[in-house]
Copies of this chain bind each other. A is one copy, B any other.
Amino acid sequence: MDFFFRPKSIVVIGASLNPQKLGHQVLKNIIEGGFKGKLYACNIDPSVKKVLGVKNYPSVLDIPESPDLAIFVIPAQAVPSVLEECGKKKIKGAIIISAGFKEIGPEGEKLENELIKISKFYSIRILGPNCLGLIDSISRLNASFAPSFPKKGNIAVISQSGAVCTAILDWAQVAEVGFSRFISLGNKADVTEIDLLEFLEKDKATELIIAYLESIGNKVDDGRKFIEIAKKLSLKKPLIVVKAGKTEKGAKAIATHTGALAGSQKAIDAAFLKSGVIKADSLEELFVLAKSFSKIPLPEKKEVLVITNAGGPGVMATDALEAANLPLAKLEKGNLEILKKNLPKAASLKNPVDLIGDAKADRYELALKVGLKDKNTGAILLILTPQTATEIEKTAEVISEKLKTKNEKRKAKNEKPIFPIFIGGEKVKKGIRILEKAGIPVFGFPEKAVNVLKKFIEYRNWKEKIKKAPQPVSIEIEKYGKENVAAWIKEERLKNVFHLGDQIADEILRTYKIPVLKSRLVQSATEAIAASRELTFPVVLKISSPDIIHKSDVGGVKVDLKNEEEVKRAFNEIIKNVKRKKPKARINGIVVYPMAKKGIEFVIGVKRDPLFGPLIMFGFGGIWIEVFKDVSFRLAPLTPEDAKEMISEIKAYKLIKGVRGQPPLDEKAIIDTILKVCKLIQDQPEIEELDINPLLVYEKGVLALDNRILIKK
């Protein structure tokens, strides 16, 4: 990627004499930005000798050397042929700013496909098309049509929307943040955020990456790749992503519950969780988090000290902390003594420490000093309201003095994070400016600071979890189980059966040592009675048909049959019901099961996400799944820790731990089953979806009662 960020030579294709044209602006930006390398203009008009003092070549083929980078600012139709010339010229990278490709419809898509072909054939990497370009504050390259060069800083920006790029640049001017590299992705015909993350992971100038994405990568494999590189990167530096297009209309036809609930957004959330990506829910949150992660050190512990000059906002901060599950720090005894000795009698020493309304800068200084050295305090919220006696500017100076070095350096030294919260408007403005100038972000409201702190803690926890390399898990299955199951699936498919229920699904799970019920497939009431005797009463009868997914809906299930008479009647009724309601369904017969012991109903499911692979779901099952949607998701592969997390995330976890004197359920067996399902789905690429609902969970053990598997068509 070096030829994009540190090219030795550049040609601007479409360099124009007309200052109104983008081709002029881009060249001008490169020159004015301070690019140090060789620069060539390429304008097809042979009468043009120079553009902005740069020598013009009507064709790239005429240029005496092979430039590292070509920047395209010509009409879309002309791009492919010139790109081909660039390929021939062995140019390494192209930034295609020109629009008129995939984004305008099928016609443009065709054009874009040509670019992709040329790119592959000549090994020329493409950024764009339809992008704003690229800005590099380190190498002083402004290869974009953004007129302003952002301040140099430690944040790299990747954006899939040009408009968001311009908004971020505009925001940066007031937010006192600077950028290392700034990349507009455009249509992602070739280069995607994955390539860029790979580059930025090693980039010393970048300490934090923020990204606006509408999709992940540009091909099927990219989901996995994204996770891999994002994880590697997140261990070194934070990656904050806002992903647009969050809400999803529920799928219409549901074959499995997992299919209905495991939308692509769940997969993305799971991917972010797996790879330590910090998710921002809006552009606003992205901005706040970007600034905070770039400037504030991460806390070593989550206990928070609140310092305030007013009770009300102190209460609001406490509310926000409690909602975010962040505890208030208990100050060390000695530190409490210092506060007691030096603060007025009316001050409240119990965290939140209320310096009361007439607090001048000295009280803030004292409390801050105490908080910074207090061993029980992980982070400090410092609230100021503009009261009559309040020394706003002086307090701001005290804070920035107390933090001595800029936050950036404190960050490097991992010092305690301080969140100044200045509530108001006109009067607090000057204090805010002093702090922001000193590199200390100021918050307008307690809730905002608490949200940042929460993300800090989550990121820190993720890193710690990942650093503890988990024990490898080995899941034992039946001998030749993998091969057998693959063979059975193949067989079913040959029969044009893609929905495996009942015995075959049970058999597959059994092969992976997941407990299922014994069963018998029978063709007559007499056979049903014999089977019932063998399996012992009471029994359940279910229709077996590849064409009937929801058996109860067609009267295809009869439960708790206690004797031969009941079994006989049930058999006949089921046949009658099904023939009436689904006359065309293929019928294998009726399956006889013993009644399962009562247990609590959970669900384990899998849906293969097209981008990220198997997405595994655990939750509260039975019909409750549709009512409460109390489920959690993770992407395969899973560690036992992941499985444990999935279980403890759902509300019904209380049931597993034992509620109201009821005994706890077998959590270990659930973890085990989740891991087995995970192995199954990884072993068997032909399985698309899988539903164990209910998975009955007991004080000891589990039972996969009702199972269905969808295989690829």
- Chain A residues with CB under 8 Å of chain B are 22, 25, 103-104, 145-147, 160-164, 166-167, 170-175, 212, 214, 244-247, 281-284, 309-313, 315-316, 318-320, 322-323, 346, 357, 385-388, 423-429, 444-448, 550, 552-553, 623, 626-628, 630, 651-652, 654-655, 659-662
Which of A175, A385, A623 gathers most chain B CB within 10 Å? A385
Copies of this chain, whole number: 2
Contacts of A626 in B (CB 8 A): 654, 659-660
Question: Once the chains bind, are A316 and B447 in contact (CB under 8 Å)?
Answer: no
Question: Once the chains bind, are B652 and A282 in contact (CB under 8 Å)?
Answer: no
A310: contacting residue among B161, B172, B311, B660, CB under 8 A: B161
Contacts of A628 in B (CB 8 A): 628, 630, 651-652
Contacts of A22 in B (CB 8 A): 388
Minimum CB–CB distance from A386 to chain B (whole Å) comes to 5
Minimum CB–CB distance from A250 to chain B (whole Å) comes to 12
If the complex has contacts A104-B346, A313-B283, A315-B244, are A170 and B627 also in contact, measured as CB distance less than 8 A? no
Question: Once the chains bind, are A247 and B164 in contact (CB under 8 Å)?
Answer: no
Question: Once the chains bind, are B312 and A164 in contact (CB under 8 Å)?
Answer: yes
A166: contacting residue among B145, B319, B386, CB under 8 A: B386
CA distance A97 to B458 in the complex (A): 45
If the complex has contacts A312-B161, A312-B244, are A387 and B282 also in contact, measured as CB distance less than 8 A? no
26 contacts between A and B (CB under 8 A): A22-B388, A145-B388, A147-B388, A163-B312, A164-B313, A166-B385, A166-B387, A167-B313, A167-B423, A171-B425, A172-B425, A175-B425, A244-B312, A244-B315, A247-B319, A247-B322, A281-B447, A282-B320, A282-B445, A283-B423, A284-B444, A623-B660, A623-B662, A626-B659, A627-B651, A627-B652
User: Which residue of B is nearest A323, CB measured?
Assistant: B247
Contacts of A163 in B (CB 8 A): 309-313, 357, 385, 387, 423
Contacts of A103 in B (CB 8 A): 346
Question: Once the chains bind, are B661 and A245 in contact (CB under 8 Å)?
Answer: no
Contacts of A323 in B (CB 8 A): 246-247
If the complex has contacts A626-B659, A628-B628, A660-B626, are A282 and B316 also in contact, measured as CB distance less than 8 A? yes
Question: Once the chains bind, are B623 and A164 in contact (CB under 8 Å)?
Answer: no
Closest 9 CB pairs of A and B: A163-B310, A170-B424, A161-B312, A173-B426, A174-B425, A171-B425, A163-B385, A247-B322, A284-B445
Contacts of A25 in B (CB 8 A): 388
Which of A387, A623, A655, A659 gathers most chain B CB within 10 Å? A387
Minimum CB–CB distance from A241 to chain B (whole Å) comes to 13
Beyond A174-B426, A553-B660, A628-B628, 10 additional pairs, beta carbon < 8 A: A163-B385, A163-B387, A166-B385, A166-B388, A244-B312, A247-B318, A284-B445, A626-B659, A627-B655, A628-B652
Contacts of A174 in B (CB 8 A): 425-426, 429
Contacts of A312 in B (CB 8 A): 160-161, 163-164, 212, 214, 244
CA distance A349 to B22 in the complex (A): 27
CA distance A196 to B552 in the complex (A): 62
Question: Once the chains bind, are A623 and B309 in contact (CB under 8 Å)?
Answer: no
CA distance A175 to B247 in the complex (A): 33
Contacts of A448 in B (CB 8 A): 284
Question: Once the chains bind, are A170 and B316 in contact (CB under 8 Å)?
Answer: no
CA distance A246 to B316 in the complex (A): 8
CA distance A661 to B315 in the complex (A): 48
Which of A146, A212, A628 gathers most chain B CB within 10 Å? A628
CA distance A357 to B103 in the complex (A): 12
Minimum CB–CB distance from A5 to chain B (whole Å) comes to 23
Question: Once the chains bind, are B244 and A316 in contact (CB under 8 Å)?
Answer: yes
Contacts of A627 in B (CB 8 A): 651-652, 654-655, 659
Minimum CB–CB distance from A133 to chain B (whole Å) comes to 11
CA distance A170 to B166 in the complex (A): 31
Minimum CB–CB distance from A669 to chain B (whole Å) comes to 20
If the complex has contacts A425-B172, A426-B174, are A445 and B283 also in contact, measured as CB distance less than 8 A? yes
Minimum CB–CB distance from A247 to chain B (whole Å) comes to 4
Contacts of A283 in B (CB 8 A): 313, 316, 423, 445
User: Which residue of B is nearest A108, CB measured?
Assistant: B346
Contacts of A387 in B (CB 8 A): 162-163, 166
Minimum CB–CB distance from A662 to chain B (whole Å) comes to 7
A319: contacting residue among B171, B212, B246, B630, CB under 8 A: B246
Contacts of A162 in B (CB 8 A): 310, 357, 387
CA distance A446 to B626 in the complex (A): 31
